[in-house]
Structure 1
């Protein structure tokens, strides 16, 4: 995952400019649900203009746009829903900080949804526009992550959902976005368990690289999820006609989940820091063990080298009283070996007695 993933315009660009940063692979898909307490209509649309007939009704409408949105489609949505240019710019330039902004009689929210794509951590920006009777949700993923919410709406006699205003639908989408952090943190937990085992049994450079990678991902995740808690706090306390008092209770539940995720995230960050300290201590301990063994070996061979060096001088003179008489002894060679074996045995016994072996 990249440290910096925000798309931005060139410095000096006029505010509200909509410029695509890359070629759009496929046109976005439009999935619309128009509902009342007694009726639910679900259709697939081709473009933004097809939403017009549903928006003017006295019903509640959820327009889900999936895929990379090109500037032209975004402009059409902006004209249809009278959206602010700065908000549209934030939709196009993904990687924004989660936030809540008020524009006249509508709200604009940006949320961050983490998930694992294979073995890589991804964080996708979810942009939501809320009006009196509509909710426009833009997600850059080709696959719709909000299908579970749609399945709840399809349930027969689901008056609890369909009878509520559009702010309850906003809660349902945000609840899914927030709760998507729990599977991600569960995956982090499994990785930490495996790293802890490797750390205690056979730490290596690969273990160190994994710890640093995990710590980096947790840091990036914290950077995007921390302001999301502030977003939910704002919704809980919002004094806006679009957010009703009976729905703020549900936003409070989302806020609780967000706090739990942040607390787990902070715990995992502390664990990675502790694991890094354990790795350094373990490597230091292994180095000390190696140095101790080498020191003992060197200590054993120092007196042996001295003995061999002395008798390797070969000063043999039968006349001189200072000559080495051992060189002419019949058992001189076995005697030197016996001395060296005795020295080695004595040193090993001494080291074991002191607890150094």
Structure 2
């Protein structure tokens, strides 16, 4: 919902807080970009009646009472499609997890940086003056939809014997690269995180990180395409792993881990039989779990036996896995994930990892 004053259109936001005095600094910042109605969480209207373009939630996410009040309101059908920006008191896992569980569109953290807040507000709640932002959002959605369509062909059609072609992947790659270029990796991850789960989410995360990494490295457009398409297909072998194992809500036992490890070779063999896929893509599918010290699988490759495109994919694959929500652990922050990979030492290419730093820490 936007308000029109003369020829100017302005967004209108609802700021919900469990302590309005604590939210006064946020209210002052939001006023620079929107007309803001403030309410206690207990007073969130049952029916917003199209008055607001979005809701900003500033509560103690460790308070069961505040969380329950917000959940009871925002789970209603009238709020389901409304974008929602949550304010975190800190960057701890619990706060972030609770916000996403409440359907966060995006999050910001205290201490508040006015410029960052306004940037995120304009991205989350575009108004009629933000035609560029709206257009970029459409590009983002098209990119994710194109990638998702490939994943449907992989995980639903391939096991049923419906072939996957290289052209299927090529049709998606340009949409993916354009989405990352014109929106942002943060927007890609936030949108994927809201609408996709489990294996689909992981593949889309890896694809987003790979596209952003390729652009950060200044790769030629064709090389960007090569990395994006390889990332999109890297886990194709999981189409042949039982869903009960892929979606198990807990840690895998040793037998299940061995079954999961089969996905690299299963995917490679499926694409090889299909034919038409470049050798470097087959290399990524088969070897993205190899480690430079020889401790990876399935072939125990080491050092120069591992190609550059595999090394790149391995880095984004590991980072994506660490920052994702999993049933058996909280997600790592991007900073913690990056530090964890630094501690892996000679297992992964540390020079490439440092080149990945701006991508990983810029989310």
Larger strand percent: 1
**Shared fold (TM-score, shorter chain, > 0.5):** no
**Normalized against structure 2, the TM-score is what?**
0.27
> What TM-score comes out, normalization by structure 1 length?
0.27
